Amino acid sequence: MRLLQDITLGNYFPAESIVHSLDPRFKIVALGLLMGVTFAVSNPGAIVFHTLFILTGIRFSRIPLVYFLRSLRFFIWLFLFTAILHLFFTQGEPIFVHSPLNYLSITYEGLERGGLISWRLLVVIALSALLTHTTTPLEITRGMESILSPLEKLRFPVQDFSLMMMMSIRFIPVLSEETQRVWKAQRSRGADFGRGGLKRKAHTLMSILLPVFASVFRRADELATALEARGYVPGQRRTSMKQLSWTGRETSALVILILWVTILAGLQMTL
């Protein structure tokens, strides 16, 4: 339960950095490109270089490393579960010839595969956190609208889709805040989350989850009312007060990104 309170994914971290000042369209395109490269890389040397590149981007964002790692803390169990699943259920050469578990065998191929998949999940979540920490929800919405604008010719609701994605991202920290508020309220009423059997712990957990989801639904209803009060009409074209601008800085960053992907592809094929 404490992990839900420490979710920082989706929170904008205000800072003056090169990454913060980049156009949101570039950052969204870079996110998709780097995610694609992450799932294509499997060579150990290319993995190391790709990881160093992402760490450099985090360094240039001027986000404290401790704060950034909190974005990944919630997903630790996902990484461990993925690694263990591949470790035991991937066919290959067993590490231990005489294993006490005859029906399960730890293989070298499973160790390699589990580590690779866990690394890919870690990188994808880290890239998503880097985007949300350095770009406001409004900028993400405007960037997605601009990128997807050609789909309007196919009658795709680009603005509504972008708004929906922005609200989904924004509700991640809202869920964390509500969980923390309800958890503190239950603790003040004498609730003990560390004692009792499985049935009592499940009852205690429900005493937190039910108020949290009720509060989230109430906030969603208030948000819908606020949108209607501001004249929001689904499907109707809306303008923006702040226009996006693509400068030479974004062009230079795009060139660096393309060069890096090219170098990484070469490392993947040669190492």
The ranges assigned to domains in the chain are 2-270
> Each residue of 55-89: pLDDT tens digit?
999 999 998 888 888 777 777 888 888 888 877 77
Helices 137-148/158-188 angle, 10° precision: 150
Q: Which residues of 21-45 are buried (b: 16+ CB within 10 A; e: fewer)?
A: ebbbbbbbbbbeebeebbeebeeee
Burial (Cβ within 10 Å: 0-12, 13-18, ≥19) of residue 209: middle
The pTM of the full predicted model, rounded to 2 decimals, is 0.74
- State how far the Cα of 209 lies from the Cα of 178, in Å rounded to an integer: 10
pLDDT tens, residue by residue, 6-43 = 555 667 888 889 999 999 999 999 999 999 999 988 88
Predicted confidence at residue 1, as pLDDT, reads 47
Helices 24-40 and 44-60 meet at what angle, rounded to 10?
160
pLDDT of 141-150, one tens digit each? Answer: 888 888 888 8
Can you tell me the distance from the alpha carbon of 263 to that of 187, in angstroms, rounded to the nearest whole number? 54
168-182 pLDDT per residue, tens? 777 777 777 778 788
